[in-house]
Structures are given as C-alpha cells and as structure tokens.
Chain A
Amino acid sequence: MTITTPPAAPTTNRHQTPDNLRMDSTMTATAAIAPSSAPAPARSTASPNRRAKVGTANVVRGEWIKFWSVRSVWITLICAGLALVGFGMIFSSVAESGTAGPGPAAFLTNPVDVALGGVGLAEMVIGVVGVLVVAGEYSTGLIRTSFAAVGRRARVLRAKVVVVAASVFAVALAAVTAAIIAGQAVYAGSEATVPVGEVTDIILGTSVYLTGIALIGVSFGFIFRSTAGAIGTLVGGVFIGPNLLNLLPASVTDYFMKYLPSEAGAAIMTQVSDPDLLSRGAAYGVYAAWVVGLLGVAALLVNRRDA
C-alpha cells in the first residue's frame, strides 16, 4: 500500500474536515478502505449528484412521472373528458328534438348548460382520480417512501396538487370546450346561439370547478388515507348530500345551500343568473375557500400524523 500525503484541502465536497484531528482520522480510514472499494458494485460510477437537492420543482417532476405512469389513473381522467363531451351531445340532441328532458324552452334559454349536462358524471370520475393519486400510495405503503425521500411531507402534498390541478384543468378545458362546440353544432340553424364572451366565462368556470373537485379528492385522500373512505365522503358529502338537503324547507336551506361546494360550483358554471345562487365572483371565492380549506386540513394532518 502506498503512503499518501494528506492533501492541503479536503478533496471531496461531501465531507467537511473541521480540524486537523479529523483530517488524520480521515486519512487512516481512507488507507484502510481504499483497496476494497475498487470492485464496489453499488458505488455510483456516474458522478453522483452531490450538489443536487430536493426542491419543489423536483418533487413536482416526480409526481408528474407517477401520475402519468399508472394507466388506470390517466385513462380514468380521459374517460371523464369523453363522458363530458358524449353526454353533452346526447343532452343537446334530446333538447334540440324537443321530445324529452329540459324541452325546447330550456334549450332556447340556456343551451350551454344543456351541452354541459355531462359535468354531473364527469365530476364524480374526476374526484375519484384525485382520490386515487393519494389513497393509492397509502394502500401500498409507497407514501412512506415518498415522504422519506423528500423530507418535508408538505412538499409531496403540494406537488400532487400541482400535478393533479394541471392535468385535470387541461383535460377539463379541452372537454368542456369540445362539449360546447358539439352542442352548438347540434343547434346549428336554430336561434339558440350564445355570445362568445359568456361562453369563455363558462368554459373557465367549469374547468376550474372540475379541477377543484379533483383537489378536494386529493385532500380527502390525505385525510382518510383510504380509497373507500375518501370516495365515500366525496360522493356522499359533496355530490349527493346537497340533494338530500333540498328536502328540507327552503326557509332553512336558503341560508347555507348556496355556500356548499356543489352550489358554488353551479353558480360559476351556469349562464343563467339564479336568485338561489351566489354571484359568479362570490361563488369563485367561496369555492376556492372550500378547496384551500380542505387542502389545509390535509396538510395539517399529514404533518401531525405518523406516516
């Protein structure tokens, strides 16, 4: 074994050598270890990314790969978009022929609402996508790997929010636009045309609503940590619950119904003004408060609970 002279400065950026004593012990260890490190199978031969670190952008990249590498997740999302367009066309055709459903009157006054009749189904599927992205990791135990790898757990939650929001918003925007265009095509020749400005409001509002539902699904995934609990609460609490409350006398429900996520969502998605609903601006605020509030609860629980 050759005797090496200590370098004047540390030769590695990995370890700092605070004093001479440390330098000495470093050298001893180096001499002892060096021969056996040659055939090392595990030591990275590509220069290890020692300066790399966990950052929000990196964690988002990881979540993006995860989202698009499980077929069931993205197929479900695409199916939600197709359902939105398909059902919209069916509703529009039915309304246009005037044989059933909302009837000619409805079709004349709010053709866009009719074309977006598929939202009711699409929102459930999209909510489930949000749940799956989180609860799927809890059911396999992968969430522990994810948390340990990035250190601060809120990073995982934030990254999932970014990826789910971006993916769902893009698909929703495309599907909603397609549904409205398809609806207009069905009405072609009739007088039920809609001013373009109003349609962009509705396209945006509906896409935001669907994105929000997916994020509520994400928050429920973190809160309940199981697919069944999260989907049950989403369907029961967000989609079906408000319908049951409609059975109460209007004098009671008037006070709070319009503040529920589904009703606030209805207000940002409709082209007709409804006295029972909030104004579009107020509805955006209320809906955002629900989504952000639930994500906040999720973040709180994620940080406090054992993983």
Chain B
Amino acid sequence: MDSHVLVVTHDENMIEVTNLTKAYGETLATDDLTFTVKPGIVTGFLGPNGAGKSTTMRMILGLDAPTSGTATVAGRALAEHRQPLASMGALLDAKAVHPSRSAYDHLRALAVTNGIATSRVDQVLDLVGLSDVAKRRSGGFSLGMGQRLGVAAALLGDPEVVMLDEPVNGLDPEGILWIRHLLQNLASEGRTVFVSSHLMSEMELMAEHFVIIGQGRLIEDISADGLRAMAAGERTEVRAERLDELVNLMRADGVEVTSNDRNAVQVRGLEAGEIGRIARDAGIALQSLIPEQQTLEEVFMSLTAHSVQYHGGDQLQLAA
C-alpha cells in the first residue's frame, strides 16, 4: 500500500455537538443544539443573522464555555488536543490580525506555537495567493485579502477539521469560486469541513449537508438531497381574470395561497390540474398556470421564517 495515500478513519474527526446550550442572562444564544459534522463532505451551517452560528463555533473552539452540553472535535475538547492547529483550523474573523504586523509574521507566530515548520507558512501563503504581499502590513489588506489570510491561518496545521465562519464575506466572484473549490477539495481529501453562512445561495453550490439553526435551535440537520426533496413540494403560479374569486374557491385545508403582486398568486397544496378544473367549473378564464419548483433559498427562508430576528416589510398574505 502506498504510504502516501491518505487514510481516513470515520468517526475520528467529527465535530460533535451535544445538547449545547449557551445562555446570556435570560436569552439563549444556543438552545439544546445537537448535531454532528462528518468528514469527507462540506457541511453548511446556516441560519439568519443572530441565529447562534458564531456562538456555536466559539464553543467548538473552546473559547466560550457552554452553559450546558458539550462540543468536541475527534472525541475531545479542542483545548485538550496536543497540537490544536493540526486537529482544527478555524477562521472566525478576517480582521483578527494586528494591522501593523505582516501576513508572514502573523502566520509565523501562529505556526511556531504548534511546532509547525516555517516552510509551511510559505506554502499556505502560496495556496491562498498572498505570497506577493506577505511582507506588507496586513492593515492595508482588503476584506477579501483578509479572508484569504484567515484561510491561510486555518490551513497552517494541515488540519483534519476545517471550520470557517462566513468565509465568503468580502470575496469577489473569483474568490468565491476559489474558496468553493478549495473547500470541496479539502472535503474530498477526507477532511471535515464546516462552513457557516447566512446565505443559502452561497452554500447550495458547495455543501452536501446542511445544519440549519434559528434562534439557537436546530431546525434541520439534512442532506442536500433531502433539502431538494423538500423544495420539490409543488407550487403553482396562477394568473386569472377574477383572481380574488378564484382564490376564494381554492381555499381548503392544506392549501396555501400567497401573493407578491396584484395579478398573480402562488398556490401550494393544489395540483395545477385541480386549479384548472376549479377555474373551469366557475367559468373563470385562466391567463397562466405555471408549476414552479422552490429554490433551496426559498425552502431555507420558509424554514427559518419564524426565527428571523430582523424582518423587512411583511409580504402580502392571502393565506387560506
């Protein structure tokens, strides 16, 4: 057997979060969260702003103490690992660098604490594309360059588990594509990759599994396929003359009618054919009848609708 081949043992490098609760006074930042993050795939950690994602990540890193419950990496608290940077590489905040220290010195100072060779610093700088600016003050970096430096720091220890908090923030489209490929590559090498975002549109292109939370509670722990199956629940856009009258006729248990504009409604819980029959029986002329599939974004929005802290204006509701 080729000794260079990566050996992956399952269960060893999981992040395990068990009944994790964090209370700040009366408010619960996380409320009895339980989930595991498995190696070999990218797991998206999704939730609206303020859902408790960063708090959860800080507890996994051993920075915040849980009020109750545990968070472990490969079966132990991260602080108990002999070489934490080799067990878990994390990016919490791209700005967490002294502005007058160079990227090179920042990474070198971090590397030596874990006995990591300086040659690895050059390697990760090259990997994230910062070699040319490595000796400059990091204070002059753009947010995107800061994110790259944060990713470089996370990869210093060649870690088995990579955990990034909102890594896509501030990246340009090319950078987003880069980080997507990077994370998928890391996962394909058998590592555990856990990435948070508040945007499903970012995550659906890179994650194979989703942990979705809202107001500190677990909403879904589901595969991408599972989420797509949820999205397939049919919905039909209807335009018709005498639309209000048709909406009244469609009202029944399990039928939901919503509308974004005056001339069309979205109907869930009724097949298109059934809507057509109702319209025909009432003598209402349909202008259009379009079956639609929900996007994952929409599924995510509806899953977390009740836990969003800061709403915009509410949609016009015609719910039956």
A-side residues, CB < 8 A to B, are 4-7, 10-12, 14-15, 17, 22, 25-26, 29-30, 33-34, 36-37, 39-46, 48-50, 52-55, 58-59, 61-63, 65-66, 69-72, 136-137, 140-142, 144-152, 306-307
Contacts and interface: CB of A to CB of B under 8 A. Distances in A.
B294 interface: no
Contacts of B158: 42-44, 48
B113 A61 contact: yes
A183 B245 CA distance: 101
A92 B86 CA distance: 57
Contact of B127 (A26, A41, A71, A147): A41
B1 A4 contact: yes
A5 B1 CA distance: 7
A15 to B, nearest CB: 5
Interface stretch (B114-122, B250-258, B297-305): B114-122
A54 B92 CA distance: 21
Interface residues of B, number: 64
Contact of B83 (A45, A54, A146): A54
Given A29-B10, A141-B92, 4 more contacts: A41-B182, A54-B83, A61-B113, A147-B62
A42 B191 CA distance: 11
Contacts of A145: 92, 96, 110, 153
A153 to B, nearest CB: 8
A167 B102 CA distance: 21
Given A53-B114, A71-B100, A145-B96, A33 B9 contact: no
Contact of A62 (B10, B63, B82, B110): B110
B100 A30 contact: no
Interface of B: 1-3, 5-10, 12, 40, 58, 61-65, 78-86, 88, 90, 92-93, 95-102, 105-106, 108-117, 119-120, 123, 127, 153, 155, 157-158, 182, 185-186, 188-190
A37 B63 contact: no
User: Secondary structure at chain B's binding surface: helix, strand, loop or mixed?
Assistant: loop
A46 B92 contact: no
Contacts of A39: 185
Nearest to A34: B5
Contacts of A71: 100
5 contacts: A42-B158, A62-B109, A63-B109, A65-B109, A70-B98
A141 B117 contact: no
Contact of A137 (B63, B98, B119): B98
A225 to B, nearest CB: 13
Contact of B79 (A36, A61, A151): A151
Nearest to B81: A151
Contacts of B63: 144, 147-148, 306-307
A148 B71 CA distance: 14
A14 B182 CA distance: 23
Given A40-B185, A148-B62, A306-B58, A14 B7 contact: yes
A46 B123 contact: yes
Given A144-B63, A148-B62, A52 B114 contact: yes
B84 A44 contact: no
Nearest to B162: A42
Contacts of B40: 29, 33
A66 B101 contact: yes
A210 B61 CA distance: 36
Given A12-B7, A44-B120, A49 B115 contact: yes
A53 B92 contact: no
Contacts of B182: 41-42
A61 B112 contact: yes
Nearest to A63: B109
A69 B135 CA distance: 11
Contacts of B100: 70-72
A65 B7 contact: no
A6 B7 CA distance: 12
Contacts of B61: 144, 148
A69 B105 CA distance: 7
Contacts of A150: 84, 113-114
A259 to B, nearest CB: 36
